[in-house]
Every structure is written in C-alpha cells, then in structure tokens.
Chain A
Amino acid sequence: MLDKHADYIAAYGSKKDDYEYTLSEYLRMSGIYWGLTVMDLMGQLTRMNQQEISDFIKSCQHDCGGVSASIGHDPHVLYTLSAVQILSLYDNVNVLDVDKVVEYVRGLQQEDGSFAGDKWGEIDTRFSFCAVATLALLGRLDAINMDKAVEFVLSCMNFDGGFGCRPGSESHAGQIYCCTGFLSIAGQLHQVNADLLGWWLCERQLPSGGLNGRPEKLPDVCYSWWVLASLKIIGRIHWIDKSKLRSFILACQDEETGGFADRPGDMVDPFHTLFGVAGLSLLGEGQIKDVNPVLCMPEDVLERLGLHPDLLS
C-alpha cells in the first residue's frame, strides 16, 4: 500500500480536492511538511519539487524573521518550525535568513518563560515546543532562556501526570507530545513522572486498538502519533498493545485513493497520512524509515544534523 500512499501525496492539490486545498492555505507550510516528511519516510522524497518548495519558503519569510503559512499570510511560530523542518530534509536551511529566524523565535518568549505563537500573544505549550524544535534544528538553543522555558512547561503538568496548553488546562495527548518533546530537547525528561504519565497514555487505547486523545473521546489515527511518540520518549512504548494498534492504523487507510483518514471509512488527508505512517514506523514497520519521536522527522536526517534528543529508557 505504500506506493498508493506516495501516489496520493505526490498528486495532492493537483486534482479535484481543490476546494479543500484552498481552504487549508492558512496552514500550507505545515501541509508541505506533512507531505514531504511522509514521502521521505517512504523513501520517495525525490518525487517532490525541491526547487519550487525552497523558493516558496524563501518568499514566506517576513522582515521580522518569522515565516508564514503561505504568501500573503502573517508569520507564526508554527509555520516557522515547519519551514525549518522542510529545509532540514533538504539540508539547505540557508534558504532562510537563519539569524533572523532565531531572533524571531527569541522575541516570542514571555517573561514567565512561555512562548507566544505570534505578535498577537496567544500562549500555548505547542509554541514552546515549536520554539525549541526550531532552534535545535538550527543549533541555536542558546538563544532563549531555557530555564524559564522549562519552568513554564513544568507548570503545565497536571495531577494526572499529563500536560495541557496552559497551566491548569486539561491533559491532552497532543499537548503531552509537545511537552515531552520539549523536555527531551531541553534535557529535562527526568522531571516527568514517567510511570504516571505512561499509565495515562496507555489508557488512551480503546478496545478497538485505536488511541484517543483524552478520556472518553473517540480514537483518531493522529493520536497514534501523539500518544505513541510520547510513550517512546518516556520509554514506555511497550505498554500499548502494538498489534491491536497496528490493525487500527491499517484500517484507516483508503485502499482506493491511498492515504489515511482519522478513522476507518472517513476521508483521507495528508495530515493523517503522515501520522498513520509515522505511527507504523514507531511500531517497527520494516518498509518505513525510522522516525524520530521527538521531531517527527526521519532519523537519518537528524543523524546528519548530529541531533540526538534524549529518550528515557
């Protein structure tokens, strides 16, 4: 089926999915990152047009250094990370003015250590992750106040061992991925209560084998990434029933069109396709390249960059 998925991604946007493609312009940079990463994991990155994408990214960097989702959109840390991830796949981050990117990220840090997403000030632990992931890929983690950044993320740890988007926010698998990823990059994983959090994470598995993001919610293939990667980071991935999860992920494929959907029978999209394939990689699927659980990029790319974020054992 991998060839079918690759065909789906390679053709995405050029067919009649036009309206959906248009509607998702506001996240285009991330969309490209999802597509390229999954292609690389399947060994098919060369089918994508590196020059066009690099030119596109270059025209999305603003004067402040931040990168926007698409041309004519405003910069944001989410799309700044996606841009740096894409360029890392191609080993040419210098398409961007790297110093300005670093300056932009540094400027988003608040007094309490948190990070805003952009100049409008929304605070979220997702942005803490985006900030350090961006800087780690650029080798510039020294640019921010790491101690304060860690302090803020830890203040988002809840009574159940999980993390939310701000202090007090409900634990949510997506946020947990961001926070454990953050702590890994910051070298602070020992601050996590791994047994307690691991328990909360493996409780996400439903009888169907799929994973949800919070108690009493429906399973979704993207949680196969958020939950599984988090468990891998804290050294407890074996607490999931792997074969049941694998069956669930495979059931989310569309055998006719290629690609993965959020759950069996729904419409596919690149987002769920990446996380389905990445989830399978974490489960040890032979034909897929190893994926790094912290940065959601092929391990060989990080190897080239000399990046080895911590994992608990």
Chain B
Amino acid sequence: MSGIEETSNVSSEFQEERSEEEVEEEIGYEDPFRYVFYRDRKEWADLEPVPQDDGPNPVVKIAYSDKFTDVYDYFRALLKNDEKSDRALLLTAEAIELNAANYTVWHYRRVLLQALEKDLREEMRYITAIIEDQPKNYQVWHHRRMVVEWLNDPSEELEFIAEILSQDAKNYHAWQHRQWVIKEYKLWDSELEYVEQLLEEDVRNNSAWNQRHYIISHTTGYSDPAILNREVQYSLKQIKKAPHNESVWNYLKGILQDLGLSSHPGLLEQILELKETHCSPYLLGFLVDIYEDFLENTLEHHEEVLSKALELCELLAREKDTIRREYWSYVGRSLQTKYGSSDSSTTTSAPGSDSGSKPLSH
C-alpha cells in the first residue's frame, strides 16, 4: 500500500547517492573538511550509539555503509534519550540527506523545531532545497505544508511550486500542495492563466487539465452558458493542435456530461467537421457518446442515429482502437439493447446478450 510512488523514491535516492569510491577518495586526501564519523566526534562522546535492531532474531544480517550506520546509530540514541537540542536538529538533517523517505526522522525534526522554537523561515529555506533535490517524496511535501501552516505564510508557494513543475509538470505531490495552498489561502486569481501557460507548453499535461477543472469549479463554475461555451471552444481549439490527446477529450466530456453532450448547440456539427481533418479514436468515441446522449434525450431519428453509433462502435472495435475492442463491443450491444427495435439490423449484437439491458450510465 505504501509503495505508490515510493519505490521511485528508493531508486531516485540511489542515483543521488555518491559512490563509495568518491567518499573514500575524499577521506584519503586528509582534507581538513573531510567527513568525521559521529563516533569520532568529541562533542558527541556523551551519547551511546544504538545499533540497528531488526528484532529478536534478525531475519537477515545486514551490511550497511559506514556513514549511514554511524548517523542512524546516533539518531536512534537521540530518540531513545528524547534529546531536544541543536545538535539533534543538525543530525536529523544528516539523516534526511541519507534517506529522505524516513518518516520517523521527519517527525522528530518537527518535534525539535517546535521544542527549540527554531526560525521557521530558515526551515523554509531548508525544505525548499530538499524538495528541489528530491521532489517525488510524500514526507518532504508534508513537511513543507506544516511549515507554511505554522508560519501562516503562503507567499512563496505558488512561485516555488511552479519552479518544481517546470522540472516535471506532472509531479503529483506538487499539484496536491498547489491545490491546498490555493484553496486554503484563496489564491485563485491568477491560476487559470498559469494553467493556460502550462497547456501551451504541453497540451497533453493531464495534471494541468485537472487543475483547469479544479479552478473553474471553485470559482465561476460551469453553469453559466458563456463560461461553458468558452471552455468547449477552448477544448476544440486544443484538439485541433493535437488531436490524439486523451486529456482534452476527457475534459470535454466531463464538463458537458451533466447537461448532456447532445444539448450543446452546434457541438455535433463542429465535431463532424473536425472528423474530416483531425480524426482520432477519441473523436470517434466522443461521437458515440453524443449519439448516445441524443438517443437518451430525443424521440426522433432514433434508427438513423443508432445506426451511426453502431457503425462507429464497429469501426473502433475492428480497426481504430482494437486494444479496447471489448469495450466498444459492449457499448454497441448496450445501445442496441436499449434503443434498437426488434427488426433493426446490427452487426455488433452478441448472441443471447439481451437478457439484461446494460444501459450506459452518465
């Protein structure tokens, strides 16, 4: 359960870690700034390091790298003594550098920050640096959120998150944090503009489309026909730029499904026009959805519309989106069952499938 996105942490930490050779080389040069183990530091001599305890009968014998062992032995000592000191705080930073996913170290750091009444602005600078280094980790973002809450100051957030997103525009943690900041501190004003900028850079960025929906839902909403039409036209424009784009089609369907896809004036015509020049499996699927909505809400032209829809389902199953042929066959059968008359011919009905109708739900 905890593994979602976290295994990528383990491997990204791998890449960040300096090699044993690099560390050894450094020590060999007797550099005055060379790393000194905690066990050799005078000012830590009062503490008894606590070795790793894997349980009464350790399942495995583990060989750690020296520095890691040293730091964590002393971290465990601090925990054991419940020590609240500046040196403890410094040690947590070392422990974090070695393993930023260790949530216990982060907990302890927060306890220390409060107990020692540390400068939280400095902590903001610290967490900024850590996140820049390891942006795909739950703990670092949660820590940042706590600091922002303690300071009650979101003023750096939007810019910082934008910086992180400029490195990976789909970072799930970054987007969570951004949504929280915006909602908590009511920073809605320039977000739509930011989303548009991201979509200019990559129109297939699903996170940005999700954010677009988030912003509009929480501000103007979609019930104003002018807003809805603006969004429909914006979507169609993006489709022209990149027709094979899952996100924009999901967005378009998403914003129209409550009112009904077939109810939007002129939409069907625009889609049919696009079909000639910017066709895609998504477009064809969307057409099926429009026809289905039409069948649900009108009584006229059923046979004609049904036949068009079934033809498309067949085309998608057979040729345009074969990997999802089971889905398209299902859609075709459902339409046939729900809207077909007993003597309308169809190429997609499965034998004996009419015992229970499975209407498409919207």
Given the known interface contacts A18-B62, A169-B175, the answer about A76 and B103 at a Cβ–Cβ threshold of 8 Å is yes
**Chain A residues closer than 8 Å to B324, beta-carbon distance:** 202-203, 205, 239, 241
Interface residues on A, range: 35 or more
Is A214 touching B170 in the complex (CB atoms < 8 A)? yes
Interface string of B59-100 (1 = CB under 8 A from A): 111111100100000001001000000000000000000010
**A169 CA to B174 CA in the complex, in Å?**
11
B39 interface contact, C-beta 8 A: no
B55 interface contact, C-beta 8 A: yes
Is B179 touching A166 in the complex (CB atoms < 8 A)? yes
A115 interface contact, C-beta 8 A: no
Interface string of B349-362 (1 = CB under 8 A from A): 00000000000111
Is A170 touching B3 in the complex (CB atoms < 8 A)? no
Given the known interface contacts A13-B59, A13-B62, A272-B7, the answer about A27 and B210 at a Cβ–Cβ threshold of 8 Å is no
Is A172 touching B3 in the complex (CB atoms < 8 A)? no
B257 CB to nearest A CB, Å? 8
Given the known interface contacts A193-B361, A215-B246, the answer about A78 and B56 at a Cβ–Cβ threshold of 8 Å is no
Given the known interface contacts A171-B210, A200-B250, A244-B323, the answer about A55 and B55 at a Cβ–Cβ threshold of 8 Å is yes
Given the known interface contacts A122-B142, A239-B324, A239-B327, the answer about A172 and B250 at a Cβ–Cβ threshold of 8 Å is no
**Chain B residues closer than 8 Å to A286, beta-carbon distance:** none
B160 interface contact, C-beta 8 A: no
Is A20 touching B56 in the complex (CB atoms < 8 A)? no
Is B99 touching A26 in the complex (CB atoms < 8 A)? yes
Query: Which residues of chain A from 46 to 86 have any CB-CB distance to chain B below 8 Å in the complex?
Result: 49, 51-53, 55-56, 59, 68-74, 76, 78-79, 81-82
Picked from A71, A193, A241, the residue with its CB within 8 Å of the CB of B55 is A71
A-B contact count (CB 8 A): 189
**Chain A residues closer than 8 Å to B259, beta-carbon distance:** none
A174 interface contact, C-beta 8 A: yes
**Chain A residues closer than 8 Å to B99, beta-carbon distance:** 23, 26
**A216 CA to B219 CA in the complex, in Å?**
28
**A158 CA to B210 CA in the complex, in Å?**
9
B194 interface contact, C-beta 8 A: no
Query: Which residues of chain B from 1 to 49 have any CB-CB distance to chain A below 8 Å in the complex?
Result: 1-7, 10-11, 13-14
Is B210 touching A20 in the complex (CB atoms < 8 A)? no
B224 interface contact, C-beta 8 A: no
**Chain B residues closer than 8 Å to A216, beta-carbon distance:** 170, 204-206, 246-247
A128 CB to nearest B CB, Å? 12
Is B250 touching A53 in the complex (CB atoms < 8 A)? no
Query: Which residues of chain A from 205 to 222 have any CB-CB distance to chain B below 8 Å in the complex?
Result: 205, 207, 209, 214-217, 222
Name which residue of chain B comes closest to A22, CB basis. B64
* Residue of B3, B7, B58, B214 with highest tally of chain A CB at under 10 A: B3
B344 interface contact, C-beta 8 A: no
Is B323 touching A205 in the complex (CB atoms < 8 A)? yes
Is B3 touching A222 in the complex (CB atoms < 8 A)? yes
B152 interface contact, C-beta 8 A: no
A191 CB to nearest B CB, Å? 11
Picked from B1, B53, B204, B254, the residue with its CB within 8 Å of the CB of A81 is B1
B185 CB to nearest A CB, Å? 15
Interface string of A1-40 (1 = CB under 8 A from B): 0000000000001100011111111110010001000000
A159 interface contact, C-beta 8 A: yes
Is B10 touching A159 in the complex (CB atoms < 8 A)? no
**A27 CA to B206 CA in the complex, in Å?**
30
**Chain A residues closer than 8 Å to B101, beta-carbon distance:** 23, 26-27
Is A203 touching B246 in the complex (CB atoms < 8 A)? yes
**A124 CA to B40 CA in the complex, in Å?**
43
Is A26 touching B104 in the complex (CB atoms < 8 A)? yes
Name which residue of chain A comes closest to B17, CB basis. A19
**Chain B residues closer than 8 Å to A27, beta-carbon distance:** 2-3, 6, 101
Picked from A20, A59, A122, A169, the residue with its CB within 8 Å of the CB of B10 is A20
Is A159 touching B206 in the complex (CB atoms < 8 A)? no
Is B57 touching A55 in the complex (CB atoms < 8 A)? yes
Is B63 touching A18 in the complex (CB atoms < 8 A)? yes
A165 CB to nearest B CB, Å? 6
**A217 CA to B207 CA in the complex, in Å?**
11
Is B59 touching A52 in the complex (CB atoms < 8 A)? yes
**A238 CA to B54 CA in the complex, in Å?**
44
* Residue of B7, B204, B210 with highest tally of chain A CB at under 10 A: B210
Name which residue of chain A comes closest to B207, CB basis. A170
**Chain B residues closer than 8 Å to A215, beta-carbon distance:** 204, 206, 246-247, 250
Name which residue of chain B comes closest to A14, CB basis. B60
Mark B residues whose CB is within 8 Å of A.
1-7, 10-11, 13-14, 52-65, 68, 76, 79, 99, 101-104, 107, 110, 138, 142, 146, 170, 172, 175-176, 179-180, 183, 204-207, 210-211, 213-214, 217-218, 246-247, 250-251, 253-255, 257, 323-327, 330, 360-362
Which 3 A-B residue pairings sit nearest by Cβ, starting from the closest? Answer: A159-B254, A56-B55, A174-B4
Given contacts A20-B10, A199-B327, 7 further A-B contacts (CB under 8 A): A13-B59, A24-B10, A26-B101, A34-B3, A73-B104, A165-B172, A202-B327
A-B CB contact pairs (8 Å), 21 listed: A19-B64, A21-B60, A21-B62, A23-B101, A26-B99, A27-B6, A30-B3, A59-B56, A69-B103, A72-B53, A118-B103, A159-B250, A159-B254, A169-B210, A178-B1, A198-B327, A205-B323, A215-B250, A222-B3, A239-B327, A240-B326
Mark A residues whose CB is within 8 Å of B.
13-14, 18-27, 30, 34, 49, 51-53, 55-56, 59, 68-74, 76, 78-79, 81-82, 118, 120, 122, 126, 129-130, 158-160, 164-166, 168-172, 174-175, 178, 193-196, 198-200, 202-203, 205, 207, 209, 214-217, 222, 226, 236, 238-241, 244, 262, 267, 269, 271-272
